[in-house]
């Protein structure tokens, strides 16, 4: 399996490797050079060299092999289990634990831990078994994990229908006012940095509700509820309104009080797949965030 990227040269004189890199910003120059050496970059249908000087009208095709997924393996990683039945788990994920394997990071994830805890897990055709929603690596708190295909469909449908309660505790810079509000701003990939998300006019609908729990000197502790579930939604929305999350080095700035973003999934509610009963679970602030609140209280 591979992805093909093709384009035509309109200005001559550039080296093939540098020009192809400029047109494929997701690839490093060294990666492009390896592709050229392997015959996966052609000019007018022929193999070429990295230093080939391009001419106007040259047609370049870059073939990028897609990484082959590797089935995750069980690992004995401790889990803080809040609830468990035959269909699902609710866990309190610690900060620093990645949810699922990705290229270059196939071990030491929540999925590896789940496979060790549930060797009978029966979900077919997925390299992310049981995962129906995500938390960022450095976000702590409650997640639900499906144990079988039926439960995964039921929970995924609830998320799609926006009937799942997802509530977070978040500390932001500044004095956020009014005390209750809704941030409604479409989100998509940041045009200037594809590894980040941003508020963009052409993005997907995104709604975030918040209410103030407590004001500190120069900071505000919030209760945040997601009505949609976009990647980095809380962090992007709050940063866009001028109140970045404390400790968020990506959308704000690092903090000398807490060494990760102050976002904790504190409450989770949904209907059990087995009988439709509504259930809610809560998780207190972990020690590092509790300590941070105490320090901000003393400022």
Domain at 20, CATH number: 3.10.290.10
Catalytic-role residue among 136, 138, 149, 259: 136
Residue 296 banded pLDDT, cuts 50, 70, 90:
confident
Which residue, of 129, 161, 193, is where some domain finishes?
A: 161
Say if residue 33 is in the same domain as residue 90: no
**Given this model, what pLDDT does residue 263 score?**
98
Condensed to tens digits (0 to 9), the pLDDT of residues 188-207 reads: 988 888 789 999 998 899 99
Position 33 pLDDT exceeds 70: yes
The pLDDT of 173-191, averaged and rounded, is 95
Of the three residues 49, 65, 81, the one that is the final residue of a domain is: 65
Domain containing 23: what range? 2-65
Q: Are residues 152 and 254 in the same domain?
A: no
The predicted structure's pLDDT at residue 237: 98
| Catalytic residue status for 76 | no
Residues 203 and 131 in one domain: no
pTM: 0.76
pLDDT digits (tens, 9 = 90+) for 49-103: 999 999 999 999 999 987 655 677 889 999 999 999 999 999 999 999 999 877 6
Q: Which of these three, 161, 177, 205, is where a domain ends?
A: 161
Residues 175 and 296 in one domain: yes
How far apart, in whole angstroms, are the C-alpha atoms of residue 68 and residue 262?
Answer: 34
Query: Could you tell me if 54 and 80 lie in one domain?
Result: no
What CATH number did the domain enclosing 199 receive?
A: 3.30.2350.10
Question: How much is the average pLDDT of 257-272?
Answer: 96
In DSSP notation, 41-69 reads EEETTEE--TTPBP-TT-EEEEEEEPPPP
Same domain assignment for residues 240 and 169: yes
Q: Going by DSSP bridges, is the β-strand pair 41-43/140-146 parallel, antiparallel, or unpaired?
A: unpaired
Single out the residue of 181, 175, 184 nearest to residue 240, CA to CA.
184
């Amino acid at each position: 399996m591979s992805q093909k990227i093709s384009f035509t040269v309109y200005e001559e004189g550039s080296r093939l490797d540098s020009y192809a890199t400029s047109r494929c910003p997701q690839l490093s120059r060294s990666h492009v050079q390896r592709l050229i050496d392997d015959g996966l970059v052609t000019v007018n249908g022929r193999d070429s060299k990295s230093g080939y000087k391009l001419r106007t009208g040259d047609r370049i095709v870059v073939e990028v092999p897609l990484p082959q997924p590797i089935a995750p393996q069980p690992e004995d990683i401790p889990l803080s289990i809040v609830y468990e039945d035959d269909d699902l788990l609710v866990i309190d994920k610690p900060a620093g634990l990645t949810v699922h394997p990705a290229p270059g990071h196939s071990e030491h994830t929540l999925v590896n831990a789940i496979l060790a805890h549930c060797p009978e897990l029966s979900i077919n055709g997925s390299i992310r078994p049981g995962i129906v929603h995500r938390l960022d690596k450095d976000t702590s708190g409650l997640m639900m994990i499906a144990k079988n295909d039926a439960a995964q469909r039921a929970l995924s449908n609830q998320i799609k229908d926006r009937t799942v309660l997802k509530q977070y505790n978040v500390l932001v810079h500044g004095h956020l006012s009014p005390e209750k509000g809704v941030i409604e701003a479409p989100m998509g990939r940041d045009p200037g940095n594809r590894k980040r998300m941003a508020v963009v006019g052409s993005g997907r609908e995104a709604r975030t509700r918040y209410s103030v729990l407590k004001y500190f000197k120069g900071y505000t502790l919030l209760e945040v509820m997601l009505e949609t579930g976009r990647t980095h939604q809380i962090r992007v929305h709050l940063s866009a309104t001028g109140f970045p999350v404390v400790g968020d080095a990506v959308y704000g700035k690092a903090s000398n009080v807490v060494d990760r973003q102050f976002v904790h999934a504190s409450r989770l509610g949904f209907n059990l797949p087995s009988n439709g009963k509504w259930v809610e679970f809560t998780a207190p602030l972990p020690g590092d965030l509790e300590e941070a609140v105490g320090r901000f209280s003393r400022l």
